[in-house]
A and B are shown apart, each in its own frame.
Chain A
Amino acid sequence: MALNSRTRSLLLLLSPASIFLGIFFLGPLIIMVIFSFLEPGLYGGVEWNFYHWNYGRILGWADGEWEEFDPVYAAIFLRSVRIAFINVIVTLLICYPTALWVNGLPSRWRTLVVFIITLPFFVSLVVRLFCWVLILRPSGFMNSILLGLGIISEPIDIIFTETAVLIGMAYVLLPFMFLPIYASVEKLDHSLVEASSDLGGGPIQTFFRITLPLTLPGVAAGAILVFIPSLGNFIVPDLLGGAKVLMIGNLVEQQFLSARNWPFGSALSVTIMLVMLTLIILYLRRLKRMEINQ
C-alpha cells in the first residue's frame, strides 16, 4: 500500500496518542463492559459465568436468593440526577452574571480574575473540602462570624445536610461552568449588542435576543462539564453530607470496596457512561444545528 508522505507523517504523529488511548482508555473500558455481564466472585473479582442480574438490579430486580425486589438503586440514580441538575442551575446562576461582569473589566483585571478562578486547582480537593467542614460546622468560621456580627442568634446547622452537599458541589465545579461561559462571552461580537440598542432594543430585549443566544454554546458546554462530575462525585457527599446523601458515585465505590461486587459496580459505571454519552451526543447535534442556523 502506497502511502504518501503526508499520510505517513500524520500516522506517525497520531500513533503515540492512539496507542496510549487504546491501552489505557479502551482496554479498561472493554474489561468493564465484560465484567458487567459476569457473576461476582465471592471474595471480589469475578467468576467467568454469564450473569444477567447486574443490570436488572439497578432497577430493583433481585436474584431472589440473596435479595428481594427493591428499587433502592433506581432511587439513588434519580437522586443523583436531581442533585447534579440543581448543581448545574446553581453554578449557572452564579457564573453567567460573573462572566458578563468580568468581560467588562479592563483586560489585565480580566486575566487576573481568570487566574484566581483556576487557582483552587492547585490544592488537593480533599483538603479544600475539609476546610468547608471547618467553615460550615456549628462552631465553625461561618457561624462565628455571623454570630459575632449579630446577624443570627443561633448557629445555622447545615453540616451533614443536602444543603452542605450542594454548597460543596457548587464550590468544586464553579470553574467548569465559568470558563466555557466566559470563553463564549469574550468571543461575543460587541458590535451586535450595540446594533441592537441602536435599533431601539432595551437591555432586556438585547440580552434575550442577542447575548444569550450567542453565548448558549458556552452555557451548554458548562452544563455538561458540571453535570457529569456532579453525578459521579462521592467525596463531597461523604465529607459534607456525612455520607447520608448516598449518590451514584458512592454506590460504585461501595461495590468495589465493602460489597466486593465488582460486576455490579461495573454495570453501574456502564449505565452512567451511557447516560453521559447520550447527553453529549444530544449536545453536539444541537450545536451543529445552531451553527447551521447562524
Chain B
Amino acid sequence: MKRQLFTTFERVTVKLSIVTVCLLALPFAITTPATAAGKLNIYNWGDYINPDVLTRFTKDTGIEVTLDTYGTNEEMLAKIQAGAAGYDIVFPSVHMRDIMQKTGLLYDAKVNTLKGFENIDPANKRSKVDPESSYCLPYAWGAVGVFYNKQEAGEIKTWDDFFALSDKGKKITVLDDLRETIGIALIKNGYSVNTGNSDELKEAEAWLLARKDKISAFSYDIVSLVQSGDIAAAHWYVGATLYTLEEPDKLGFVIPEEGATMYQEDICVLKDAPNKDSAIKFMEFYMQPEIAALNTLQQVNGTANMPARDLLPANLKENPNTNPPPEVIKKLQIFEDLGNNLRKYNRIWTKVRTAQ
C-alpha cells in the first residue's frame, strides 16, 4: 500500500467519506457520469500520475480523460464492490489486483499481446494469479525506507540506526499502515512480510512492542516536519526523493541494509468499464518509453518500462533509491494477499497502537 504525496486534507476527507460510504450508502450504487465513446475515466491514487501524461494522451488520441482519486487500496475496493460504475481503469497495488482478479472485478485486457509490451521488465510481472500480465500492466514501483533530516539524524544506514535515534532524544515516526510497520518487524526478525505463521508473528509483535515508546507517531503527514527537523527520521516512501533532490545537503532517503518493503501498482481495466477501447489505447500509450519516462520524472519512483529508464536524467537513473541495483532489489519484499491471516495482523496492530 502506498500513499505518495497524498495530503492530510484529502486523506481525512477520504477516510470520513469511506466510513460513511460503508456504513450508509452500501445499497445505493455510486454512479459517475460519462460513458460515451472517446472518453476514459481513471480512478487512481491521489497525485499518482503526472498530469502532463493525461494532457498528452488527450492530445494524441482525442480521448477525453476524467480523473478521480482514492487514498487506500481498501477504499478503492470498497467503492468498486459497492457498485461504483463508470470507471475504466484503476491502479491497485499488486496484492490488491490479485484480490480484484479473484473476485471477478477485472477485465482480461490481454495486455501482453499489446503493442509495446516488450518494453516491460519481466521482473515487474509480480502478480501471483496473473504471472504473465494478461490482465494488468505493471505501472510503477518503489521502496519504502527511511526519509531523514541529516542535521538531526546524521547518516542512517540500517533500521537499527533509525530506532537508535530516539535514544538520543530525537523523534522518529513510522507509517500508520499495519502491513508496512509490522513488515519492518518481520524483516528485522528474518521472516517474510507475508507470513501467516503465528509464532513468527508473535515474535514480530514483541519486537515492535519493545520499540513502541521509541516511536513518536504513526503518520503519513511528516514531510514538513522532517524538513523542519521536528522529526529526525520517518519511515516513508521513495517519493521522498522529490525533496531530497531539492535539498541534498539537508535531507536524505535510504533503503535500510537489512531490507525493506516495496510497493508496485498495476494499471487494470475493470470488468464493467464502459470505455474498454479507450482503456486499451491508454495502456498502449503508456507503454511508450518517453511517456513512462515523462511520468517517472514527476513521480520520482521506479518505472516498469525498461527503455524509459535510459531516458531519465542522471539524478534519477543513477539514484540508488529510485533505481536500486539488483542486490538491493533482492532485499525488497512485496506484499501478497493475506486472506484470513489479515486478522492476525490486525490484532497485532491494534495491540501495538494501544500499548502505553
Answer whether A and B are interacting partners: yes
Which residues of chain A have C-beta atoms less than 8 A from B310's C-beta? none
Please state if A242 and B230 are interface contacts (CB–CB under 8 Å): no
B113 interfacial by beta-carbon distance below 8 Å: no
A-B pair count, CB < 8 Å, reads: 130
Please state if A75 and B354 are interface contacts (CB–CB under 8 Å): yes
Q: How large is the interface on B (under 10, 10 to 19, 20 to 34, 35 or more residues)?
A: 35 or more
Please state if A72 and B12 are interface contacts (CB–CB under 8 Å): no
Residue among A45, A126, A159, A242 making CB contact with B8, cutoff 8 Å: A126
Q: Which of B43-51, B117-125, B126-134, B345-353 lies at the interface?
A: B345-353
Please state if B74 and A42 are interface contacts (CB–CB under 8 Å): no
Chain B, residue nearest A159 (CB):
B230
Which residues of chain A have C-beta atoms less than 8 A from B218's C-beta? 242-244
Given contacts A137-B228, A138-B230, contact A130 B173 (CB under 8 A): no
Residue among B171, B178, B340, B351 making CB contact with A42, cutoff 8 Å: B340
SS class, residues of chain B in contact with chain A: helix
A67 to B176, alpha carbons, bound, how many Å?
Answer: 22
Which residues of chain A have C-beta atoms less than 8 A from B341's C-beta? 66
B319 interfacial by beta-carbon distance below 8 Å: no
Please state if B343 and A66 are interface contacts (CB–CB under 8 Å): yes
Query: Could you mark each residue 22-38 of chain A with 1 if its beta carbon is under 8 Å from any beta carbon of chain B, else 0?
Result: 00100110011000000
8 Å CB interface, B44-74 against A: 72, 74
Which residues of chain A have C-beta atoms less than 8 A from B24's C-beta? 24, 28
Chain A, residue nearest B13 (CB):
A126
A124 to B347, alpha carbons, bound, how many Å?
Answer: 33
Which residues of chain A have C-beta atoms less than 8 A from B16's C-beta? 235
Please state if A67 and B347 are interface contacts (CB–CB under 8 Å): yes
A139 interfacial by beta-carbon distance below 8 Å: yes
CB distance from B235 to the nearest CB of A (A): 13
A44 to B18, alpha carbons, bound, how many Å?
Answer: 13
Given contacts A67-B343, A260-B342, contact A32 B23 (CB under 8 A): yes
Q: Which of A87-95, A193-201, A250-258, A285-293 lies at the interface?
A: A250-258
A261 to B349, alpha carbons, bound, how many Å?
Answer: 14
B31 interfacial by beta-carbon distance below 8 Å: no
Given contacts A160-B216, A242-B217, A261-B343, contact A44 B74 (CB under 8 A): yes
Please state if A242 and B216 are interface contacts (CB–CB under 8 Å): yes
CB distance from A197 to the nearest CB of B (A): 50
Please state if B8 and A251 are interface contacts (CB–CB under 8 Å): no
Query: Could you mark each residue 256-280 of chain A with 1 if its beta carbon is under 8 Å from any beta carbon of chain B, else 0?
Result: 1111111001100100000000000
B229 interfacial by beta-carbon distance below 8 Å: yes
Residue among B8, B19, B23, B346 making CB contact with A239, cutoff 8 Å: B8
A59 interfacial by beta-carbon distance below 8 Å: no
> Which of B12, B103, B173, B340 has most chain A Cβ within 10 Å?
B12
Which residues of chain B have C-beta atoms less than 8 A from A3's C-beta? none
CB distance from B349 to the nearest CB of A (A): 8
B151 interfacial by beta-carbon distance below 8 Å: no
Please state if B350 and A72 are interface contacts (CB–CB under 8 Å): yes
A242 to B226, alpha carbons, bound, how many Å?
Answer: 14
Which residues of chain A have C-beta atoms less than 8 A from B178's C-beta? 258-259
Chain B, residue nearest A28 (CB):
B24
B37 interfacial by beta-carbon distance below 8 Å: no
Which residues of chain B have C-beta atoms less than 8 A from A45's C-beta? 81
A to B CB contacts below 8 Å, 9 in the list: A31-B27, A42-B340, A70-B351, A76-B354, A139-B228, A159-B230, A257-B19, A259-B346, A261-B346
Q: Given A66-B343, A258-B349, output 20 extra A-B contacts at Cβ < 8 Å.
A: A27-B27, A28-B24, A28-B26, A32-B23, A66-B347, A72-B351, A73-B350, A126-B9, A137-B225, A140-B230, A160-B171, A234-B15, A238-B176, A242-B173, A243-B176, A254-B350, A256-B22, A257-B72, A259-B343, A265-B23
Q: Which residues of A contact B (CB under 8 A)?
A: 24, 27-28, 31-32, 42-45, 66-67, 70, 72-73, 75-76, 79, 124, 126-127, 130, 133, 137-140, 159-160, 234-235, 238-239, 241-244, 246, 250-254, 256-262, 265-266, 269
